Amino acid sequence: MNRVFRSGRGTPRTISDRTVSGALLPCTAVFIGATQFTQAATASGGRLALLADRDFYAPGGISLATDPLLTPYTSGETGIAIAIKPDDEVAWAMAAGSYTPGQELTVGAAGRLTAAAAAGIVVAYFDQPAKTVVAGELADVVVANFYTKA
């Protein structure tokens, strides 16, 4: 779990009694439904969570094909999601782009974070040095107390 949940304080609250609705990648946003996790493509529309990796899989570095952070869940498989809260430090998949420290982020396509535009819902802040990332690359972020960007 510490590959996704970076906060040094405590253990995150996880939800593991639901299945995933498709081939969903860890470190992406999902909505928590009554029986399933579904991929989020916006910050609104449901209770937002972060899909965690399967901590019983071998750690990364052995092979990209078996890296738990890059191995998607299969439809119908039981998923593990982190119930995120303000100030949690997590690894989250990013949309392609250039990001700066403290930049406001929102949920975009495939559950990845992207730069928040005016009137968008801010869910996190970029928490590493300025960087240009490729689609799906993981970045450290800090979860915000969700608000609408002015």
How large is the average pLDDT for residues 102-111? 98
CA distance 18 to 42: 21
What confidence score (pLDDT) does residue 1 get?
A: 47
Least confident of 9-13, 15-19, 24-28, 93-97: 9-13
Q: Is 54 helix (H, G, I), strand (E, B) or coil?
A: coil
Q: Are 27 and 94 in contact (CB under 8 A)?
A: no
Give pLDDT tens digits for 40-69: 999 999 999 999 988 655 555 555 556 778
Q: Are 75 and 147 in contact (CB under 8 A)?
A: no
CA angle 5, 107, 20 (to 5 degrees): 65
Least confident of 3-7, 21-25, 26-30, 33-37: 3-7
Residues ≥6 apart with Cβ < 8 Å to 140: 6, 89, 90, 91, 127, 128
